[in-house]
Amino acid sequence: MTGRLAQRHVLITGGGGGIGLAIAEACLAEGARCTLADRPADPPGDVALLRRRHPATVAYVAADVSDAASVGGMLFAAKAAHGDIHTLVNNAAVFDLAPLLESDEASFDRLFAVNVKGMFFVMQRVLQHMVDAKVAGGSIVNMASQAGRRGEALVSHYCATKAAVISYTQSAALAMAPHGIRVNAIAPGVVDTPMWSQVDALFARHQGLQPGEKKRRVGLEVPLGRMGTPGDIAGAAVFLASDEARYITAQTLNVDGGNVMS
């Protein structure tokens, strides 16, 4: 690797596995120090292994991004571990689906609490830190989704939350441009992570499919012919965090194998 993130501290929410963990591994390979945040009190197995491999450059903190006090504790712990935060990867999210006429308030509240409220207030707190500390080259990478680019009959709440991520990314980028802080997002397509077991089961229940059938179909429907991997997303995150993207802000980068064209 080229050391593109040397001397930088990257905070990754939803870092306990899947895309978040892959981004951490890619950032470490480029010389970064990483703080991974997720809900379990103790680091999940893969995070514990990563910490053993990189004891000086990996920290873990338990946090619930939908809770303001927990967010404050997360930032305090991250700064205590590795100093000023240069990049936030705002990755924590939850998923649910249901037919529109059956979508309930509990699902709405849960998705918006994490995917929108949590995303915004984590971003806001980190941006305030970057401004106060005069962090040079600060950047935010929010995790949107191809679902934020279009509606889906069974996925109305989730689609709306990810559309909000795209909108907040644009507004925050304009607000932070005078401070030299860049704010961008990534819109992954269908990515083969452990969460897809839950997604596949929900589609199977509501569409009358056999287990595994939805996952097989969505992979075949991608123009490049396969589902994405967490590593596919990690490369884009490293790029947006690096100086190679120093003139890129207010953008949402589609990393979806050609599903969405913009």
Active-site annotation, residues: 158
d(CA 118, CA 37): 13
Among the listed residues 23, 26, 1, the one whose alpha carbon sits nearest the alpha carbon of residue 12:
23
**What is the DSSP-derived secondary structure letter of residue 251?**
-
Distances, alpha carbon 17 to alpha carbons 45, 46, 146, 168, 244, in Å: 9, 7, 20, 25, 26
Q: What's the residue count for the chain?
A: 262
End-to-end alpha-carbon separation of the chain, Å? 30
d(CA 107, CA 47): 29
- What backbone torsions phi and psi does residue 163 show, to the nearest 5 degrees? -65, -35
> How many C-beta neighbours within 10 Å does residue 174 have?
12
Amino acid, res. 177: A
How are beta strands 58-62 and 87-90 bridged, if at all? Answer: unpaired
Burial of 113 (0-12, 13-18, 19+ CB in 10 A): middle
**What is the DSSP-derived secondary structure letter of residue 17?**
S
Assess contact for 27 and 241: CB atoms under 8 A: yes
